[in-house]
Amino acid sequence: MKKGNVAAMLGILKPFRSLDPFLIMLIATVAAASLLPARGMAADWTDIAADAAIALLFFMHGAKLSRQAILQSVGHWRLHGLVFSSTYILFPIAGLATVMVAGGWINPLLLSGLLFLTLLPSTVQSSIAFTAMAGGNVAAAVTSASLSNLFGILLTPLLVSLFMQAGGNGAISTWDSVGGIVLQLLVPFIGGHLLRPWIGGFIERNKKILGPVDRASILLVVYSAFSAAVINGIWNRVGVVDLAELLLLSGLILAFIMGANVLAARVAGLSREDSIVLLFCGSKKSLVSGVPMAGALFAPAQVGLVVLPLMIFHQLQLFVCAALAGRFRREAEERARLAAAAASTVVPRSEDEIAEAAKAAGMEVPEACIPGVVANLGLLDRHAKALLGPNGHPKA
Amino acid sequence: MTRATDIAAAVRSGSVTALGVVEHCLEGLEREAGPLVAVTRILAERARADARLVDAALSMGRDPGPLAGVPFGVKDLFDVEGLPTTAGSGLYADAPPAPDDAEAIRRLRGAGAILVATLNMDEFAYGFATISARHGTTRNPHDLARLAGGSSGGSASAVAAGLLPFSLGSDTNGSIRVPASLCGLYGLKPTHDDLPMGGVFPFAQSFDDVGPFTTSMADMALIWEVLSGRSAVEDDGSGALRVARLGGRFRDNADPDQIAAMDAIAPDAPMIELPDIARARSAAFLITASEGGILHREALSRDAMAFDPATRDRLIAGALLPQALYETAQAFRARFKAAILDLIADYDVLLAPATPCVAPLVDDPRIMIDGVMTPARADLGIHTQPISFTGLPALSVPLRRPGQLPLGLQLIGKPGGEPALFRFAAMLEDRGITGVSSADFSAKIGIQGEYQ
């Protein structure tokens, strides 16, 4: 292959470099299920394994949930209330509105999946990671995301039964089955959390080993779901246009939620750090919780279609939040740098220091002035040293 | 050399007309000011109109004021109605005309004085040399090869040459006292913020003041009275003035004649060493640089290359100083001022040199400070800057030394202590220790002037 061709190929691959590796694994799993779906006995065993994986996942969620983290930020109830409202009120409203507007011209099961994702709890890891990256209030993000997941165990199934029945999408038949499913999720969750004093430390210490278990469980659920979906002819019902429509609708929902959260933060007078928490925790939906919940809440043949919008939304939110977090981080660094410069009594001397000081002062120093400015700052530096003395502070 | 008080007396008595005085002055400026590079604008029509008003008042039996018919000039940073206030910079050559005169001009005009010219300066008053890229370097009438000092160099040069009886300048770190010393005149930096600053282009507002250049103490006292609206005579002016001499760095960097004069004036006066004087000067330097830089930051961002290159680079450097350093300097200033006021509480007059040496050569504008040759433009104010730092009034008085280049002393007073300084300076003048020596300027440029 010629060098140019390799470069061209690398160029084509460039956009995929920023894809979440886990999403690539998910796509690979979907592809595997599409090409080699589990059938017959294999499907039964896969379903049992998937059920066990769901229980294991929620057991681990329970064991990971830190009560201390929740209690640490008790003073931030206004912020947590806003995040909660965004996750469980604003998002569902956006989902229901989308169903109303888009109903009729998009695959109803995909639309159900879109509504389903709006009913999910927020993510924990990525909300915290992006908040930390953006220089937000990490402690509050830990609490908010943890609370969101805690409530989600109960709220999401309830909201699903309420809205998805009302929407005529028929995911769940009766309240009794809701109770059963809640137990399926809740029992392992509470079990894990109660055992946290004994196993929490082990889980924390062995994150690297248990991480793959977490992920493998999700992949197993996805494989199981898509196997059933493929056998039911998912790819005959879903085309590229459907996926593009999903992407567009996901983008609109995300933009609406983020815009509303920015506005809410401003109206509530939140600090910059807390606004970041609201923006990131309030606009996320958890793939890690969503896939097993879908596995528990929906019929096996439907799960594949239901989680497809979640997978698309999840990647979109990662793209957008990564870009925003990077921008916020740069802004925070710039602010910190300016604050440090303002607190410093050091006279800028080198050309780089002069350029930085000029930027902070909102000026540009023309090239022709640099030698003269350097010389004058040298003189001023001598006076600064005379003022400050050897200890860096003028004596009284 | 004609004193303002003599001109006013002659005009008020009717022996000369104000218009006659003004015409004579304008003629002198037109004929002789060129080599000095001191005058930037001659305001002939305005001056004649004002002179006619003074004469009209007299003809109607009204007193035009204590400065009736006395011509004067102002540094290029005072607002003059109908003219752009340039502050010595080409950047403001086409600025909108000032709607009114500066308050100081209004008060002098109200006393009958007649503005005839605007005078050269360092761009934006940033310098002690009056080296102007726009108008050229102002020359010392005692030796045209030498600097007049600055930044109010035009104001000092024109008066020392005998072309004007008095002028106004501004003093931030010594911009009146330095040229007064180098040109052999009386020059006053008043108590900070005491004389009217309305309509004066600022430089560093922590230190900016305006003040007069005169050829006699009688003129100085009269003009200060007009500007301040107060009497130049102390309430209880009969007691002996308590004098101290400033030692340390002030004596380390002084001309032997200045030291001899101070010792002769007050041989028994205690020698006081102001603590941290070098540090005070450095703090003043930094505050000035920072305030000056910030004042012009916007214009520098817009069009830095339109500035005088030397001023531009100094202003940019000042604008880039860290805010925390500026605040540290201001905090030190507050402590220093309190300490100095305590230290001088028992004295009415402190004696110090005004400049460390006589006027430097234009072709080699350097001076010796602490044994090292340094730029005159930045360092001629070594003895004035620490005094500005405290806001105390300081009067530069010329040592009487005919035939030699001028040198001045500073008489430093307490806040509001100008009348005590005036009494002491008048006593020195009476004793012949201080006094203005003729620059023989007309002779130097080959003109026999009647005005001299």
DSSP A346: P
Same-domain status, B204 and B220: yes
User: A252 and A149 in one domain?
Assistant: yes
- Cβ atoms of A62 and A190 within 8 Å: the answer is yes
What is the Cα–Cα distance from A202 to B2, expressed in whole angstroms? Answer: 100
Residue B325 to residue A379, Cβ atoms within 8 A? no
A380 with B309: Cβ contact below 8 A: no
pLDDT grade, residue B228 (50/70/90)? very high
Comparing CB atoms, the residue among A366, A376, A382 nearest residue B317 is: A376
Let me know whether A166 and A225 are in one domain. yes
B238 is catalytic: no
A167 lies in the same domain as A51: yes
Residue A12 belongs to some domain of the structure: no
Closest partner CB to A394 (pick from B279, B289, B301): B279
A358 in the same domain as A314: no
The active-site residue out of B89, B132, B151, B181 is B151
Answer yes or no: is B422 within a domain: no
Residue A319 pLDDT: 78
Is there a single domain that holds both residue B142 and residue B272? no
Kind of pairing between the strands at B243-246 and B209-214: unpaired
- Which domain does A360 fall in, by range? 346-387
Q: Is A346 touching B (CB cutoff 8 A)?
A: yes
Question: Which residues, at least 6 apart from A190, have a Cβ–Cβ distance to it below 8 Å?
Answer: A62
Are A360 and A322 contained in the same domain?
Answer: no
The reply to whether B45 and B185 lie within a common domain is: yes
What pLDDT shows up at residue A3?
A: 47
- Nearest by CB: B321 against A368, A372, A380: A380
Interface of A with B in 353-382 (CB under 8 A): 354, 357-358, 361-366, 368-369, 372-373, 375-377, 379-380, 382
> Residue B396 belongs to a domain with what CATH number?
3.90.1300.10
d(CA B205, CA B193): 9
Total structural domains within chain B:
2
Closest CA to B198 of B189, B206, B209, B186: B209
Q: What is the pLDDT of residue A170?
A: 46
Burial class of residue A313, CB neighbours in 10 A (0-12, 13-18, 19+): buried
Active site residue B189: no
Is A366–B310 a contact, with Cβ atoms under 8 angstroms apart?
A: no
Cβ atoms of B174 and B381 within 8 Å: the answer is yes
Catalytic residue among B75, B157, B189, B437: B75
Q: Do A366 and B328 touch (CB under 8 A)?
A: no
- Region B26-48: mean pLDDT is 96
Query: Based on the domain organization, do B384 and B308 belong to the same domain?
Result: yes
**B71 pairs with which residues across the strands?**
B114
Instruction: Locate the chain B residue with the closest alpha carbon to A343.
Output: B324
Residues A244 and A373 in one domain: no
Interchain contact, B309 vs A372, CB within 8 Å: yes
Low-confidence ranges of chain A (pLDDT < 70): 1-20, 22, 69-70, 72-75, 165-184, 207-211, 214, 341-342, 391-396
Instruction: Please check whether residues A294 and A362 belong to one and the same domain.
Output: no
> Which domain range does residue B86 map to?
4-235+439-445
pLDDT, chain B, mean: 93
Q: Which residues contact A15 (CB under 8 A, 6 or more apart)?
A: none
Residues A44 and A152 in one domain: yes
Domain co-membership, B288 together with B200: no
Average pLDDT over residues B10-20: 95
Is there a single domain that holds both residue B65 and residue B210?
yes
B428 domain-assigned: no
Task: Say whether the peptide bond before residue A350 is cis (omega within 30 degrees of 0).
Answer: no
What pLDDT does B191 receive?
Answer: 97
Q: Which of B89, B155, B167, B175 is catalytic?
A: B175
Least confident range of A151-160, A183-192, B238-247, B309-318: A183-192
* pLDDT score, position A168: 41
- Among A293, A310, A336, give the residue marking a domain's end: A336
Is A384 touching B (CB cutoff 8 A)? yes
Backbone angles phi, psi at B165, to 5 degrees: -75, -30
Whether residue A396 lies within 8 A of chain B, CB to CB, comes out as yes
pLDDT tens track for B381-401: 999 999 999 999 999 999 999
Mutate to test the interface with B, among A337, A351, A359, A373 (most CBs of B within 10 A): A373
Amino acid letter for position B306: A
Which residues of A fall within a CB distance of 8 Å from B285?
380, 383
Distance CA B434, CA A346 (A): 45
B24 and B167 inside one domain: yes
- A393 located within any domain: no
Please report, as a single letter, which amino acid is at residue A383. Answer: H
A355: distance to nearest CA of chain B, Å? 9
Would A169 be classed as within a structural domain?
yes
Are residues A295 and A153 both part of a single domain? yes
Residue A182, pLDDT score: 64
- Calculate how close chain B gets to A78, using CA atoms only, in Å: 37
The answer to whether residue B396 is catalytic is no
8 Å CB contact of B320 and A373: yes
In this prediction, residue B143 has a pLDDT band, given cuts at 50, 70 and 90, of very high
Check whether residue B154 and residue B264 sit in a common domain: no
Q: Global pTM?
A: 0.64
Beta-carbon separation of A387 and B297 below 8 A? no
Number of compact structural domains in chain A: 2
- The lowest-confidence range among A219-223, B271-275, B401-405, B429-433 is A219-223
The string of pLDDT tens digits covering residues B319-365 is 999 999 999 999 999 999 999 999 889 999 999 999 999 999 999 99
The structure tokens 């909300």 sit at A127
Interface of A with B in 97-136 (CB under 8 A): none
**pLDDT confidence of residue A77:** 82
- B185 and B264 co-located in one domain: no
What does the pLDDT look like over A190-220, one tens digit per residue? 888 888 888 888 877 776 666 677 677 778 8
User: Cβ(A277)–Cβ(A140) under 8 Å?
Assistant: yes
Find out whether B320 and A358 touch, Cβ atoms under 8 Å: yes
Enter the ipTM: 0.84
Say whether both A129 and A270 belong to one domain.
yes
Question: Is A394 an interface residue toward B (CB < 8 Å)?
Answer: yes
Domain assignment of residue B201, yes or no: yes
Same domain, B280 and B205: no
**A110 phi and psi, to 5 degrees?**
-65, -40
Beta-bridge mates of residue A91? none
**CA atoms of A333 and A340, how far apart (whole Å):** 10
Pair (B299, B174) in one structural domain: no
The 8-class DSSP code of residue A122 comes to P
Looking at the fold, whether A304 and A364 belong to one and the same domain comes out as: no
Chain B residues touching chain A at CB-CB below 8 Å: 276, 278-279, 281-283, 285-286, 289, 297, 300-301, 304-305, 309-310, 312-314, 316-325, 328-329, 331-332, 335, 378
Backbone region of residue B111 per phi and psi (left: phi > 0; alpha: psi in -120 to 50; beta: other values)? alpha
Q: What tens digit of pLDDT does each residue of A379-393 get? A: 999 999 999 887 666
Please judge whether A358 and B320 are an interchain contact, meaning their C-beta atoms are less than 8 angstroms apart: yes
Residues B205 and B270 in one domain: no
pLDDT at residue B2 tops 80: yes
Give the pLDDT band of residue B452 (cuts 50, 70, 90): very low
Q: Supply the pLDDT for residue A174.
A: 44
For the cut 50, the answer to whether the pLDDT of residue B451 exceeds it is: no
C-alpha B265/C-alpha B250 separation (Å) is: 16
